[in-house]
């Protein structure tokens, strides 16, 4: 039982740390693009963080295909203006996704093993 807590606390701590760091990186990149993009292209960054592109490409359905197309379009537009900040935004979304997954799995394992 104690080994479960010893494993759970560091995994959750690291997951939360990565999540918070990714949120701040995401906000920083969005703010940068908000300041430099023209008004007609600001709608591509005016949304919540999305799952990474591979998440939508693996799933079937017109809704996922539409979101994947929007992400490809958004990434192209952002890469035109600043490649480094666009990569930072994309990697922050990936970090948010994986830290959420790690936290959910560790919480599920902790709850099941109690």
pLDDT digits (tens, 9 = 90+) for 12-29: 888 899 999 999 999 999
pTM: 0.80
Long-range contacts of 108-111 (CB under 8 A, 24+ apart): 109/8, 110/4, 110/8
State both tokens at 15.
């997951």
Whole-angstrom CA distances from 92 to 39, 108, 113 are 24, 24, 31
pLDDT digits (tens, 9 = 90+) for 30-83: 999 999 988 888 887 877 677 777 777 767 777 778 888 888 888 899 999 999
| Residue 107 and residue 16 in contact, taking contact as beta carbons nearer than 8 Å | no
């Amino acid at each position: 039982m104690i080994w479960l807590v010893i494993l759970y606390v560091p995994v959750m701590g690291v997951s939360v740390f990565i999540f918070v760091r990714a949120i701040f990186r995401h906000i920083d990149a969005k703010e940068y693009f908000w300041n430099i993009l023209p008004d007609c292209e600001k709608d591509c960054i005016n949304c919540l963080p999305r799952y990474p592109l591979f998440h939508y490409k693996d799933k079937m359905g017109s809704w996922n295909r539409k979101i994947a197309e929007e992400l490809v379009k958004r990434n192209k537009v952002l890469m035109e203006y600043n490649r480094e900040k666009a990569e930072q935004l994309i990697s922050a979304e990936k970090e948010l996704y994986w830290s959420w997954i790690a936290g959910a799995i560790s919480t599920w394992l902790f709850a099941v093993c109690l």
